[in-house]
Amino acid sequence: MSFASVCGHQKQIAILRSSLERGRVAHAYLFYGMPGIGKRTTAEIFARALNCEKGHSDACDECPSCRKMEHGNHPDVFFVKADGQFIRIKDIRNLQEQTRFRPFAGGRRIFLLVDADKMNTEAANALLKTLEEPSQANTLILLTSRPHSLPLTILSRCQHLRFNPLPPETIAAFLQSRLSMSDGDALLLAASSGGSIRKALEMNQEGFLKPRDEIVDQMVKSHTNDPLKMLSFLGNLGKDKQDVLRRLEILKICYRDAIVFKETGEKGLLLNQDRLESIKDIAGRLPSHKMLDNIKNIEVTYRAIEQNANRSLVLEALAFKLA
C-alpha cells in the first residue's frame, strides 16, 4: 500500500513525501480531521515509507520492511489505542520504554497514537515529556478528530497536518471503482457521507436507499397544513443516535434537491434523480427561502443531537419549524 492508494489529500501527501525526500522528518506529527477520511491510512503508509528499504518518498510494497507492515508484525511500528474509554498512563509509559531502544529492522521506530484525544490527564502529561526530549530514531504520529481536546503543550510540539472532508465527486469515484456502484447511487452516498469515505461505506452496508425512499415519501405526505403530520414523521426518525443523524442528512439533501430543481428545472443537478417526481412535488409546495430555512434548521438540529441534546425535544422543535 503506497500513497497512490490514498483517496484525496494530495496536499498532505505532498508535504510528507517532501519531508522524506529531504530527510527532514519531524519527531512528532498531528494528523487531525473528521473521522473516516483517511488519516490513519495515510499515517500507516507514511510509517511504511519511513522504513522502506527501496523507496525514497513512498513505500515500495516489496521489501521485507513493507511486507512486515502489510502483515502487521513490523518490530519498529507500534499502535497505541484506548484501553476502554481512555489511553492510560501505562500505555504511554510502555511507549516511553520502547523509545529507549534502537530500531531493530528499520531506520526509525514509529508510534501511532490512535484517537490521541482519549489520553487521560496523566497520560498526556507523560507524553509531553517524550515530546520535549525528541530522539532522531523515533517518530510519533498522533491521530485525532478532536484536536481541541489535546493540551496546547502537546499541540505546540507537533507538526500539524489537517485532513479536510473529501469532495463528493472524490468519494463517488472511489465507490464506483471499488464497489462497481452506479453513478447515481455513488453520488447519493457521497453527498450524504459528509466527506467521509468510511461513512459512505457504512451507509452502503446498511442499505441507504430504503430509508431514503421512506423519508422522501414521508416528506411528500407531511408538507400539508397539518403540523401534526410533520411531528409524527420526525418523531419516528429512529431510536439510535447515528440512525437519526443519517436520516436528518437525507432530509437535508431532499430539500437541497427541491431548491435546485425549483431554481433551475435541471434533473441532472439532482442527487436524488431517481425520485424526480417527489422532488418536484416538494419544490412546488414550498418557496425557496422556506426550504433554505429548513436546511439551516436541520443543520442546527443535527449539531444539537451530535452534542447529546435531548433528541425528542430538538426533533419536536424542528417539526414545528419545518411545518
Average confidence (pLDDT) over 95-111: 84
15 and 148 belong to one structural domain: yes
pLDDT at 230 exceeding the cut of 80: no
Average confidence (pLDDT) over 177-198: 82
pLDDT at 224 exceeding the cut of 70: no
Q: Is residue 275 part of a domain?
A: yes
Query: What are the tens digits of pLDDT across the range 161-179?
Result: 999 988 888 888 888 888 8
11 and 117 belong to one structural domain: yes
Query: Which residues does residue 163 pair with via DSSP β-bridges, in sequence order?
Result: none
16 and 72 belong to one structural domain: yes
Query: Of the given ranges (63-72, 224-233, 255-264), which has the lowest mean pLDDT?
Result: 224-233
Q: Is residue 170 part of a domain?
A: no
Q: Is residue 177 part of a domain?
A: no
pTM over the 0.75 mark:
no
Contacts made by residues 240-249, CB under 8 angstroms, sequence distance 24+: 241/305, 241/311, 244/305, 244/311, 244/315, 245/302, 245/305, 245/306, 246/192, 246/203, 246/208, 246/211, 247/211, 247/215, 248/298, 248/301, 248/302, 248/305, 249/192, 249/194, 249/302
Q: Which helix (H) or strand (E) is 299 found in, with range?
A: helix 288-306
Q: Is residue 171 part of a domain?
A: no
The number of domains in the chain is 2
For residue 151, what pLDDT is reported? 92
For residue 225, what pLDDT is reported? 63
Torsion of CA 296, 298, 301, 305, to 10 degrees: -130
For residue 191, what pLDDT is reported? 76
Cβ 227 vs Cβ 213: under 8 Å:
no
Average confidence (pLDDT) over 100-120: 87
70 and 215 belong to one structural domain: no
Query: What are the tens digits of pLDDT across the range 236-251?
Result: 777 788 888 888 888 8
270 versus 161: the higher-pLDDT residue is 161
pLDDT at 285 exceeding the cut of 80: yes
For residue 42, what pLDDT is reported? 94
Cβ 150 vs Cβ 115: under 8 Å:
no
Query: What are the tens digits of pLDDT across the range 127-160?
Result: 998 888 878 889 999 999 999 999 999 999 999 9
Average confidence (pLDDT) over 307-315: 85
11 and 145 belong to one structural domain: yes
Q: Is residue 192 part of a domain?
A: no
Walk across the sheet containing 28-32 and list its strands. 77-80, 109-113, 138-144, 28-32, 159-162
**CATH code for the domain in which residue 142 is found:** 3.40.50.300
Helices (H), ranges, 236-275: 241-264
> In terms of residue numbers, what domain contains 24?
3-162
143 and 65 belong to one structural domain: yes
Q: Is residue 154 part of a domain?
A: yes
217 and 79 belong to one structural domain: no
Task: Write down the mean pLDDT value for the chain.
Answer: 86
**CATH code for the domain in which residue 258 is found:** 1.20.272.10
